[in-house]
Structure 1
């Protein structure tokens, strides 16, 4: 009887070990699959980040702060590029409060006055700007210039109007 108990215990132990082995093997394989999937996602994300970084670098090409020649020109005038951007932006945005709309915008608004929403400095001379009245919107290029007395002059170069109609 004692032999049969040990034999049953031995078979039970062998079955238990086989069950544990099969169970652990399936868990290991599932974890390997998850690791491989996550590794692929990580590689894809890194690739997307690299491509977005390249796009960002290309987008910064037309930017006052990223243009060495434009920065050198501003410095030769004895000005700081950051302060120039702030000063020009303030002058443009301050004109948004004019009673008949911003005088730099040649279009009349259908739902109110045309106002500038966003500005982007392309270099030491030009700005691209977005404007709207809430219904119609447009874009324009503005030239800014500092004379020998560092007085700021703003000149609209070209503009276009998109209509919601």
Structure 2
């Protein structure tokens, strides 16, 4: 009887060991597949990250190129204003003065044209350096651009002179 019990126990242990071996082997294969899948995803993500880094570098270089002609990034032009000891953002101040000349009833006095579909207002300003500003203007139907020359005194009074202007043809659909 003990031989039978031992025989059944031995068969049970062998079956249990066989089950564990097969089950562990399946789990091992699944884990290896999962690891390979994750490695492939990691490699794909690394490639995507590299592409995005290249794109970011291109955008940074483009931004540097675009900000070249701005007062904020022009050390020589900013040095010109150091004698006035402005504490405010000078470019923003100049932009605000130009925008403040817009009116709902009259054309902006800086725009050298009379509004045809309404009043001409300055809608975009870029201060280029310590002497010039580039402006875009529109009356809702017509639009144009102009280069303004400006002078500023110690009291922050600005005087403007139109250097060049351009009025585009009306856009029709």
TM-score by length of 2: 0.82
C-alpha deviation, 1:85, in angstroms: 2.9
> After superposition, where does 1:52-91 map in structure 2 within 5 Å?
52-76=59-83, 78-80=84-86, 82=88, 84-91=90-97
Unaligned 5+ residue runs, structure 1?
none
Report how many residues are paired: 164
TM-score by length of 1: 0.86
Larger Rg: 2
> After superposition, where does 1:89-100 map in structure 2 within 5 Å?
89-97=95-103, 99-100=105-106
Counterpart check, 1:28 vs 2:35: yes
Q: 2:136 aligns with which of 130, 148, 161?
A: 130
Match of 2:52 in 1: 45
Q: Structure 2: how far apart are the matches of 1:155 and 1:92?
A: 12
Contact 1:135 1:164 in 2 (8 A): yes
Q: Structure 1: how far apart are the matches of 2:143 and 2:40?
A: 51
C-alpha deviation, 1:11, in angstroms: 1.6
> After superposition, where does 1:133-144 map in structure 2 within 5 Å?
133-144=139-150
Instruction: Indicate how the Cα distance of structure 1 residues 98 and 4 shifts in structure 2: closer, same or farther if over 3 A, else same.
Output: closer
Q: Structure 1: how far apart are the matches of 2:71 and 2:163?
A: 18
C-alpha deviation, 1:152, in angstroms: 2.5
Match of 2:165 in 1: 159
> After superposition, where does 1:11-22 map in structure 2 within 5 Å?
11-22=18-29
What value does the CA root-mean-square deviation take over the aligned residues? Answer: 2.3
